[in-house]
Amino acid sequence: MSKVYARRRLSILAALTGLTAFVGALNGPTASAALPTPIAASTARTYLSSLTVAAEDRTGYDRSLFPHWITISGTCDTRETVLKRDGSNVVTDSACASTSGSWYSEYDGTTLTSSSGLDIDHLVPLAEAWDSGASTWTTAQRQAFANDLTRPQLIAVSAGSNRSKGDKDPAEWLPTRSAYVCTYARAWVQVKHYYKLSVDTAEKSALQSALKGC
């Protein structure tokens, strides 16, 4: 292969690489939240039908009763672990803090490049869990729930979307990004089923409606 041909070939490859990146940017975000894949919609509908329906009671709730964030590995706690899992090209320092990267907020479709603009959402809020059964748990059980990386319970999202949600259940709040509503409903039901938490009447109805669209 001549040097001239080699240079031309490299130039063509570089142009194609740039074009691929450009097309990728047009097609959508480069970072995507890595929430553990929820159960199928059909399974969610079955699980939902089996959940206990009961009125909620927030008496005695305090966020500190759910210890978080805990150390997961080395210097990395739960928040830092989720930030690294859910972002693209995430760089961390010696303390495991994210210093750069890109994160796509599934709730509202925004892309962020600073971890300071992100919250780690408990998909089923801690207060909601308390209302629907966690008030009877041990501290160890509540800690496990608040730091659960196995079920689809923790996700990095924009601080704005998380604070808009607050402690609301699906009868009061759903992601503004409609493409994510099905995933959100499936995840919510999976978490409630796994932890044997109840649902109230309005919550169950909202979840049934959301799952119809799956």
Taking the model in full, what pTM does it have?
0.85
The pLDDT profile of the chain, 214 residues, written as one tens digit per residue, is: 443 333 344 333 333 333 333 333 333 344 455 899 999 999 999 999 999 999 999 999 999 999 999 999 999 999 999 999 999 999 999 999 999 999 999 999 999 999 999 999 999 999 999 999 999 999 999 999 999 999 999 999 999 999 999 999 999 999 999 999 999 999 999 999 999 999 999 999 999 999 998 9
Torsion region of 96: left, alpha or beta (phi above 0 gives left; psi -120 to 50 gives alpha):
left
Domain ranges of the chain: 1-28, 31-212
140-190 pLDDT, tens digit per residue, is: 999 999 999 999 999 999 999 999 999 999 999 999 999 999 999 999 999
Dist CA 183 CA 91 (whole Å)? 28
- For 21-160, list the strands marked E by DSSP: 71-73, 76-77, 87-92, 98-105, 110-112, 118-122, 154-158
pLDDT at 190 (0 to 100): 98
Burial class (CB in 10 A: 0-12, 13-18, 19+), 166: exposed
